[in-house]
Amino acid sequence: MCGIIGYVGKREALPIILDGLHRLEYRGYDSAGVAIVGTKGAGPNAEGGRVKTSRAVGKVAMLASSCAGKTLDGTAGIGHTRWATHGKPAEKNTHPHADCTKQFYIVHNGIIENHEELREELKKQKHVFKSETDSEVIAHLLEDAYKETPVLEQAVQSTLRKLRGTYGLAVVSSYEPEKIVTARMGAPIVLGLGEGENFVASDASPLLSHTRTVLYLEDGEMAVVTPTTHTIVTLDNKAVERGTETIEWDADRMQKGGFPHFTLKEIMEGPEVIENTLRGRLITEDGLAKLGGLQSISEKLREAKHIIIVACGTAFHAARVGEYMLEEYAGIPVEVEFASEFRYRKPVLDEHTIVIAVSQSGETADTLEAIREAKRKGATTLGIVNVVGSTIARETDAGIFNHAGPEISVLSTKAYISQLVVLALLTLTLGRERELSLTMGKKIAEALQELPKKIATILKQEKEIKKLAKKYAKYEHMLYLGRKYNFATAYEGALKVKEASYIHAEGCGAGEMKHGFIAMIDKEFPTVAIAPEDSVYDKMLSNIQEIKARSGRVLAIATEGDTRIGKLADDVFYIPKTIEMLSPILAVVPLQLFAYYLTLERKLDPDRPRNLAKSVTVE
């Protein structure tokens, strides 16, 4: 996600926009830029018009430095702080983007799915592109539309009708200097209403020092904002009357979307994260995935005889699930290794080996060095990374971005479910080139599409999980049990508890329980058993019976409609049914919330766990 802010009024726009971008930095921070509509100087038809810009790679502070010494005066303008999705962090890819005549400037949050076809069409009409982004097509479409209809809001309206995908958009033009046109489809836009001045932003956090009177656009709406007016219409030009709201929260709470912690906010983003990870990547009717980032190694993938996945921490647990997916549905042998082990041992690799790095940050030192070692030995490398432009993303031969948005919390939650979805998409891609049938491919694709609403169902039961955490917070030890696809879920659920609440939680493959772990069980050592109705369900029931026989308390994660497990376990949390390979994506969500609320019960701050960093960039 990116941060957008616009101002139009009686004050100089630049300082207001820069301050606003600082407050939006949590939404994206790899590059930032401003476009200020000058009130004096060259007229709209001079080269570069009356709009002056500045852009910088890095944090907003870099942009502020780049603005110093430039003439950026004007009482209207837009700004953007970027979280790259298409095109690495670089000045040429930094918003605002302009058309060929530099009379129209746009800032965009979201993904334009049909940007490639639009770009090709515009190039045929001799438009010259400066960036690698999807967003830039909007500026060039606007240039053509304005020639047809020289009214900014009408030109924007006809432009928006050509777009497919999501946008939170703001537009300024030298032709109509006291106007911002903004629109929303799938990415938030809020208007801030002041005295003789008005604001546009991605959320209200940058507005609070100017006004607390706001109104929110809905999907499919566009607004025209001037210093003293704001009008809202739908894309088919129907007027919209929208009342204002008064923001009570402070800026910190705003940045957390109204949640008390980034950890909870990011868990709650689950449905949207899955939608964004899947966006434009599923061809359901053919049971296929479309992963543009793999084109450069498509032949290597077709010839692959062996996959090794290297990762750390939560990403390692995602890799363990990916191993089972790829072996069962793509028929390729897979090894999963801690990157910190892989890089120091003598792995056997050859030109038919694909080494995959899974890493949210794309900067984890061990994972990066493991990839470098793999490349030295001639393997083809592939990154599953959330941060565009990160080192692992740049050094792997190809990759798939999560599009999960910035993950601020030290606890990796939304990135984990996105990693599992990406691994499922990779399984579809590799499997359908091998033995995976159309029928099964379609079944996997359809099950992926159902995930967002199933996760939303789980999140609606947050209060029930909070109650369970209250019951279990008194224990100092916990055993997490899972098998097969939920073997890794057991370890991931335990890691969340360890790193946030400091309770000693032990992940354990349930088949291993009797090889030592069960010795720890007594009434002070409860077990969380992940036991959805799948191919190893009966085995899990036996494990639960063995735990109960030793006075161990059991909290089970089970499938809705299961009538047996409630007779055995002390507590049960039910999750919606899905296909076995995707059950870890649903099973982990209550465990993330459980860990979060255990942490609160222990009066700890889940956003600031002791001894941990968000990205382990040193060994």
Could you list the residues that contact ligand AGP (CB under 6 A)? Answer: 312-315, 359-361, 364, 367, 410-412, 499, 615-616
User: Which three-class secondary structure state does DSSP give residue 289?
Assistant: strand
CB of 263 to ligand AGP, least distance (A): 10
Q: Is the peptide bond before 206 cis (omega within 30 degrees of 0)?
A: no
Is 614 an annotated catalytic residue?
yes
- CB closer to ligand AGP, 143 vs 407: 407
Asked if 100 is an active-site residue, the reply is no
Helix locations, 384-461, DSSP H: 391-395, 414-432, 438-459
* Residue number with CB closer to ligand AGP (234 or 615): 615
Q: Which is nearer to ligand AGP, 146 or 416 (CB)?
A: 416
> Contact at 8 Å (CB) between 565 and 518?
no
> What are the two backbone dihedrals, phi and then psi, of residue 433, each rounded to the nearest 5 degrees?
-85, -5
- Contact between 280 and 290 (Cβ < 8 Å): yes
Residue closer to ligand AGP by CB (options 168, 322) is: 322
What count of Cα atoms within 13 Å lies in the side-chain half-sphere of residue 356?
30
Query: Rounded to the nearest whole angstrom, what is the least distance from the CB of residue 92 to ligand AGP in the complex?
Result: 27
Least separation in angstroms between residue 325's CB and ligand AGP is: 18
Residue 583 Cβ vs ligand AGP, minimum distance, rounded to whole Å = 20
Which is the catalytic residue, given 2, 67, 312, 508? Answer: 2
Q: Which is nearer to ligand AGP, 76 or 339 (CB)?
A: 339
- Distance in angstroms (rounded) separating the CA atoms of residues 238 and 236: 6
Q: Could you tell me if 403 and 600 are in contact, meaning their C-beta atoms sit under 8 angstroms apart?
A: no
Q: Which is nearer to ligand AGP, 304 or 411 (CB)?
A: 411
Which contacts (CB < 8 Å, 24+ apart) does range 255-258 have?
255/23, 255/26, 255/203, 255/205, 257/203
The distance of closest approach from Cβ of residue 606 to ligand AGP in the complex, given in angstroms and rounded to an integer, is 11
Other C-beta atoms closer than 10 Å to the C-beta of 68 total 8
Closest approach of ligand AGP to the CB of residue 313, in Å: 2
DSSP H or E stretch at residue 191 = strand 190-193
Question: Which single residue brings its beta carbon nearest to ligand AGP?
Answer: 313
Question: Quick count: other Cβ atoms within 10 Å of Cβ 51?
Answer: 26
CA-to-CA distance for 197 and 203, rounded, in angstroms? Answer: 17
Q: Please check whether residue 274 is in contact with residue 423, taking contact to mean a CB–CB distance below 8 angstroms.
A: no
Known catalytic residues? 2, 614
